[in-house]
Structure 1
Amino acid sequence: MDIFILSRSISTYLNDDLCLLDVDGKENNDIYFTGDIIQQSSNLAPEIINAERERFSDKKHKHIESLDRLTYRLYKNCRRLENTNSNGKDYLPILQSELKKFRILKRNWMLTL
């Protein structure tokens, strides 16, 4: 939940800077990554719940693989947003450190399944 709240706050902060059009009238393509981090972080909790509920290990592993993909994409989108022209990018290392903690917790959690 902390990752979701952080990503939502960072996205809102970045949207204010990135929603402006360039001088030539083009939009900033990096604004789409802000929506991606919200979507990916909101999908983490349902995947954890689905993995916990599954009885068969092969189905559990599918949810775990989905979690791996989500965390990887979330981390990559944070890296992409670091290159934006916004003051909000200073808060991205906080989200990245939470993702690192989540990966460690996920490894320990997987051993209990």
Structure 2
Amino acid sequence: MDLLDTPGYAEDVAIHSDLPIAFLACGTGGFVTVDYSDTLNVKIINSYSAGGYAKEVVYDNNKIFLTTELRGLQIFDVSNLYSPVRIGTVETKYALAVALKDNYIYVADEVEGLVVISVP
């Protein structure tokens, strides 16, 4: 077992489907990519400032869906783990949680309630 100090508070974690990689929502620290291939030497391989308080993270098909309080939903392409690219933003007032189902993204927002986004 290893412990890893993260920038900001580790609020949520998502696991890569094929690799020993974890993605953490770290509050004011944005999101962090962690390599846990050696569980005795867990290490941060990348961090990205989200510009808001990163609350929840979901991984799906080389994309990260990150809720950020006051900055809405941010979507990143993480096919290159060392260089994530923001590919989209959905502005909401206070995004707290996100879920994916079929061709829809569901965002729970403290102010706006449920925000449903169709993905083409």
- Give the structure-2-normalised TM-score: 0.24
Task: State the structure with bigger RCO (CA 8 A, min sep 6), 1 or 2.
Answer: 1
Q: Determine which structure has the larger helix proportion and give its number.
A: 1
Q: Determine which structure has the larger strand proportion and give its number.
A: 2
- Give the structure-1-normalised TM-score: 0.25
Q: Which has the larger radius of gyration?
A: 1
